[in-house]
Amino acid sequence: MLGPLARRLLVAMIAVVIALAAPAAQAQTSLRVNVVRSLAFDRLAPGMPSLTKGSVPTDTGVFEVLGPPGTPIELWFTLPAAFDGPSGATLPLTFDPSSASFSAAQSTADRIPFDPRLRQQFRIPPSGRMLVFLAGRVLVGADQKPGNYRASIVLFANQVN
Amino acid sequence: MSTTSFDSDHPVGRGPARRWSFAHTALVAVTLLSALAAVLWPSRARAQGVVVSPPTLLIDHRVRSGALELFNPGDRAIEVRIEMLFGYPVTDSSGQFGLETPATPPAGMRAATGWVEAFPARLTIPAAGRQTVRFLARPPATLGDGEHFTRLAITSKFAAAAAGDADAAAIRTEFSVEVRAVTTLLYRKGTVSSSVAVANANTSVRNDTLDVRVDLAPGGNAAFLGTVTYMLENTAGAAVATLDQPVSVYVPVRPRAKLSLADVAPGEYRLRIRARAERADLPAGVILPTPAAELVVPVRIAPR
């Protein structure tokens, strides 16, 4: 059917597929979290609360959790109360009990909310992949100092076995 | 004539055969590349967590050392920190598994947390890089036979994601994200054995769900790592509903399982609860050969 060159080409391609797929398949055997999209703000400026009725929402952060299907896991976050800015300035951040959500179907349409600060128990779905979403709000003062503001988020993922 | 051919059965120049060969090759190539994309797409995230291999590290007392390989599949460096953490799975009042992490190991627990060290404990893994982390055990001279354990808390720190305006008068915000994933280190010395007892099953039916609670108690001097299969059988012995639940039993637990009864008719059944030492997600050698334990209880499914 196929000539020697075509056969060699196919064998090479199959080898490449197997070689590249192996790390991805291997990743399914241990719990792993990827940051698909970090929380972020498109643009902030002093006085924004008056434009946004109090506070500015973050873009939603998206985390991908990979693991062996059926594995019990716990997830929770430690979240900052504020960004630290120039000369001791702060930029308050708020998260509420429904600031986080998850989807076992890997979509944004079936999110189930949860409190990001409390340990939540899950089982890795049959697909081996679930998505966790997190969003917060920031309060920008009318005289907020310009400059760089930094904050840290920690996502804890315990494989319970 | 050139000897290059895509089909040795059909000499070059026989157009139709050669074109078919090209088309076939192209089709297979597209299929393979599509499969490759499908396999790799989920892991092409913006910042990828470190891949730990093996997922559970086993150290033998005769060697007293072991190694994990950390792989950074992402396109930027990751800072990694490795710490020992004592913890074991427990079930809460609702039967959910959680990791109990007391600051001090309770008396009688075979904790290895205080005498295992990681080298290096802090490292930076470049993009697409691999790094081996070695673990050295310095157990006390009085250490008894059995399986001792600790958790490895592996924290990956991703670079801050900057956002905002480049304007000097603007407010710019940066989030740095850390992910701490916990895995397991087992240290085995001498004669190690494991067993499990299954007892006190309670069942209840709610709508289309059979809710099961059962006691699992470990025996021997190692944790029971295995799978509990809940199988609802009809009077002829045929399975009508099945659920597999991976479990790690370090202390007595009472997990909850929920079987779907969507396709199960009302009637008399029996529930077979079988705990066996098999786990698809753990490497060979981690699972100790352990006799299966079983409990069978009658279940009546009322009309609903």
* B190 φψ region: left (φ > 0), alpha (ψ -120 to 50), beta (else): left
- pLDDT for B183-204, tens place per residue? 899 999 999 999 999 999 999 9
**CA-based nearest residue to B173, from A99, A78, A139:** A139
A155–B180: do the CB atoms touch at under 8 Å?
A: yes
- According to the model, what pLDDT value does residue A56 have? 67
- DSSP assigned state of B121: S
Mutate to test the interface with A, among B30, B92, B177 (most CBs of A within 10 A): B177
B171–A44: do the CB atoms touch at under 8 Å?
A: yes
Q: Report angle CA A34, A103, B72 to the nearest 5 degrees.
A: 10
- Determine the distance in angstroms separating the CA of B19 from the nearest CA of chain A, rounded to an integer: 11
Which contiguous run of DSSP H or E holds residue A148? strand A147-159
Nearest to B55 among A17, A29, A40 (CB): A29
pTM of this prediction?
0.78
Residues of B in contact with A35 (CB under 8 A): 45-49, 158, 177, 179
Q: What are the average pLDDT values for consecutive 10-residue runs of chain A, which has 161 residues?
A: 60 51 46 85 66 62 88 92 93 90 77 92 89 88 86 91 74
Q: Report angle CA B292, B294, B298 to the nearest 5 degrees.
A: 165
What does the alpha-carbon distance between residue B199 and residue B255 come to, in Å, rounded to a whole number?
A: 12
What does the alpha-carbon distance between residue B243 and residue B245 come to, in Å, rounded to a whole number?
A: 6
Residues of B in contact with A134 (CB under 8 A): none
Strand locations in chain B (E): 51-53, 56-60, 65-71, 78-85, 88-91, 97-100, 116-119, 122-125, 130-137, 146-163, 171-189, 194-206, 209-220, 224-233, 239-249, 256-260, 267-276, 293-301
What does the alpha-carbon distance between residue A9 and residue B108 come to, in Å, rounded to a whole number?
A: 61
Domain boundaries, chain B: 1-44, 51-189, 194-301
Which residues does residue B102 pair with via DSSP β-bridges, in sequence order?
none
Q: Which homologous superfamily is B51-189 in?
A: Immunoglobulins (2.60.40.10)
- pLDDT for B8-43, tens place per residue? 233 333 334 444 455 555 555 555 554 444 444 444
Question: In which residue are the tokens 């202390």 written?
Answer: B251
A6–B45: do the CB atoms touch at under 8 Å?
A: no
Nearest to B177 among A31, A38, A144 (CB): A38
B194-301 has which fold?
Immunoglobulin-like (2.60.40)
Q: Other CB atoms closer than 10 Å to residue B124's CB: what's the count?
A: 13
- Determine the distance in angstroms separating the CA of B238 from the nearest CA of chain A, rounded to an integer: 24
What residues contact B206, with CB distance under 8 A and at least 6 apart? none
Estimate to the nearest angstrom the gap between the alpha carbon of B232 and the chain centroid: 26
Mutate to test the interface with B, among A5, A14, A20, A34 (most CBs of B within 10 A): A34
> pLDDT category, B254, cuts 50, 70, 90?
very high
What does the alpha-carbon distance between residue B197 and residue B293 come to, in Å, rounded to a whole number?
A: 6
> pLDDT category, B174, cuts 50, 70, 90?
confident
- According to the model, what pLDDT value does residue A8 have? 63
- Side chain identity at residue A128, one-letter code: G
Is the N-terminal amide bond of B54 cis, ω within 30° of 0?
yes
Residue of chain A whose Cα is closest to the Cα of B92: A121
- Side chain identity at residue A22, one-letter code: A
Residues of B in contact with A161 (CB under 8 A): 89, 97, 184, 225, 246-248
B51–A27: do the CB atoms touch at under 8 Å?
A: yes
Residues of A in contact with B168 (CB under 8 A): 146
Nearest to B172 among A30, A31, A149 (CB): A149
Q: ipTM of this model? A: 0.74
Same fold, B51-189 and B194-301: yes
Residue of chain A whose Cα is closest to the Cα of B46: A36
What percent of chain A has pLDDT above 70? 71
> pLDDT category, B176, cuts 50, 70, 90?
confident
- According to the model, what pLDDT value does residue A10 have? 57
Mutate to test the interface with B, among A140, A143, A160 (most CBs of B within 10 A): A160
**CA-based nearest residue to A154, from A92, A101, A42, A76:** A76
